[in-house]
């Protein structure tokens, strides 16, 4: 290589662009250079007996990409097509590197700190949700639907840890991306490839941060903070994208740093083991199996959340945090909650009472030995609070905007009626959807010992302060 190469050695650094624009890149050239770079890199890695680690592979990849860029520039000059500007060299080199090691045309969107969620329904139908809740259109992320599918297949297969299959036989994909974002995709069973990338902008988040963002009132934050410290078991419910993971992170910030925590997730989203706030965090991630199913219906290598929860009983955990309860893992979680150490989990539900019914259904998936009555009684005895989140989308000039907030908090207790449980609205949504103090069960007055502002709660109850 000669000394004329532009500052493309900065490959791998973040490229931040406005959410509706992107660098001027010829993506057909990028695809060609990426294929050649991938082939050269594969040959180099295969011939290297020292087995290059990820960082070394990327460094080698940088060198290969820069050589290919210089060769492509020389070919254009020889063919009379003229040279490349420094800007074109830089953006093309970055695009090739991103396609080889990162997220290709999606990378500028993931790097943009203004973007929280990326929704794709076909290569040219892209919707971006900004951190303030605004929804805007994005540029195409591929030249065709097939190109988008091909890249997703490549992305799934190159994962060094928990590689996933994405094919007609496995038409869904759930993937944890570098940096903590989560990708969900579907193809072959949908008219066009569908992709959602959820970015976690609020990592080191506290309840006070959510108060500042008007997600909840200071009184509600005081109540939840005390509930965590008092080891109450809490379920956070809401629709997809309502902010459940963010709230769980904020709740976990109230756990003493020296408590041993176990997290259980299908794909890492909480990242408590990376935040450095707690000294001991055992983080379990489910693993899908592969190949044909055995007689028990399992695929080879499969590792489920309920297995992780059972295994965790030997880890001397102080708290179990389940990223999302979807099925029979709730039964193992109930067994953990019976120890009274306090747990935090999430589930999808339209309202807090519906969340109870959803969890009962999930528990019954554990087998015929778990009847509706048994599941209901166990849940009523172990789950203390359900925090319901709401998400409202409304039209604003130039697009739409989403607002997320705590809509209600109910206390759950065993009941003598047919349903088998009793609920009390500790906080109930007002006309504007904000959760306000309603009825406080006597047992929750004791949370004042853990910092709950009981006076503030009582002073704003609809029927006034109570002695």
The pLDDT tens digits for 307-361 are 888 888 889 999 999 888 888 888 888 887 887 778 999 999 999 999 999 999 9
In this model, does residue 14 exceed pLDDT 60? no
Task: Identify each DSSP E strand in 270-414 by its residue range.
Answer: 280-285, 290-293, 299-300, 319-322, 343-348, 385-396, 399-414
- Split at pLDDT 50, 70, 90, the class of 297 is low
Residue 439 has what pLDDT?
95
Architecture of domain 207-459: 3-Layer(aba) Sandwich (3.40)
Q: How far apart are CA 363 and CA 360, in angstroms?
A: 5
Decide if pLDDT at 171 tops 60.
Answer: yes
Task: Provide the pLDDT confidence category of residue 13 given band limits of 50, 70 and 90.
Answer: very low
Distance between CA atoms of 250 and 213, rounded to whole angstroms?
A: 13
Q: How confident is the model at residue 296 (pLDDT cuts 50, 70, 90)?
A: low
On the CB side of 138, CA atoms within 13 Å amount to 32
Domain 103-201 matches domain 207-459 at the CATH topology level: no
Q: Which CATH number fits domain 103-201: 1.10.940.10, 3.30.450.90, 4.10.490.10, 3.40.50.2000?
A: 3.30.450.90
Average pLDDT over residues 407-422: 89
Residue ranges of domains in the chain: 1-101, 103-201, 207-459
pLDDT > 80? residue 382: yes
Percent share of the chain, pLDDT over 90: 44
User: Which residue is it, tokens 């006034």?
Assistant: 464
Element (H, E) at 437: strand 435-437
Pairing of strands 343-348, 234-238: parallel
End-to-end CA distance of the chain: 82
Q: Tell me what the mean pLDDT of segment 197-218 comes to.
A: 89
Asked if the model's pLDDT at residue 8 lies above 60, the reply is: no
pLDDT band of residue 18 (cuts 50, 70, 90) is very low
Model-level pTM?
Answer: 0.74
């Amino acid at each position: 290589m000669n000394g004329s190469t532009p500052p493309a050695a900065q490959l791998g650094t973040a490229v931040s662009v406005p959410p509706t624009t992107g660098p001027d890149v010829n993506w057909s050239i990028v695809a060609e250079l990426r294929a050649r770079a991938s082939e050269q890199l594969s040959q180099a890695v295969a011939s290297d007996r020292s087995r290059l680690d990820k960082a070394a592979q990327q460094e080698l990849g940088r060198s290969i990409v820069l050589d290919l860029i210089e060769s492509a520039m020389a070919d254009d000059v020889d063919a009379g097509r003229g040279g490349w500007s420094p800007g074109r060299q830089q953006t093309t080199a970055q695009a090739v590197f991103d396609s080889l090691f990162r997220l290709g045309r999606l990378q500028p969107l993931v790097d943009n700190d203004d973007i929280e969620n990326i929704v794709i329904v076909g290569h040219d139908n892209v919707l971006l949700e900004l951190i303030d809740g605004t929804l805007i259109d994005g540029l195409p992320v591929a030249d065709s639907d097939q190109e988008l599918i091909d890249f997703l297949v490549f992305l799934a297969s190159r994962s060094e840890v928990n590689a996933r299959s994405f094919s007609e036989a496995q038409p869904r994909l759930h993937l944890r991306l570098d940096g903590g974002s989560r990708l969900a995709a579907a193809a072959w069973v949908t008219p066009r490839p569908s992709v959602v990338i959820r970015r976690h902008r609020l990592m080191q988040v506290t309840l006070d941060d959510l108060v500042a963002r008007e997600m909840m009132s200071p009184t509600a934050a005081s109540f939840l903070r005390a509930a965590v410290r008092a080891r109450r078991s809490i379920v956070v419910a809401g629709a997809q994208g309502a902010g459940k993971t963010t709230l769980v992170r904020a709740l976990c910030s109230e756990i003493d740093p020296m408590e041993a925590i176990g997290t259980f997730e299908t794909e890492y989203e909480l990242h408590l083991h990376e935040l450095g706030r707690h000294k001991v965090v055992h983080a379990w991630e489910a693993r899908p199996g592969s190949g044909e199913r055995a007689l028990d219906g399992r695929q080879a290598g499969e590792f489920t959340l309920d297995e992780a929860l059972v295994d965790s009983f030997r880890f001397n955990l102080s708290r179990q945090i389940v990223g999302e309860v979807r099925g029979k893992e709730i039964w193992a979680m109930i067994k953990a909650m019976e120890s009274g150490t306090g747990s935090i989990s999430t589930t999808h539900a339209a309202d807090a009472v519906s969340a109870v019914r959803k969890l009962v259904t999930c528990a019954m998936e554990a087998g015929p030995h778990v009847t509706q009555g048994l599941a209901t009684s166990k849940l009523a005895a172990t789950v203390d609070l359900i925090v319901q989140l709401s998400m409202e989308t409304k039209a604003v000039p130039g697009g739409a905007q989403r607002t997320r907030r705590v809509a209600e908090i109910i206390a759950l207790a065993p009941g003598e009626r047919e349903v088998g449980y009793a609920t009390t609205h500790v906080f109930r949504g007002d006309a504007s959807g904000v959760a306000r103090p309603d009825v406080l069960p006597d047992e929750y007055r004791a949370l004042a010992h853990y910092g709950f502002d009981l006076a503030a709660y009582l002073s704003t109850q609809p029927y006034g302060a109570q002695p």
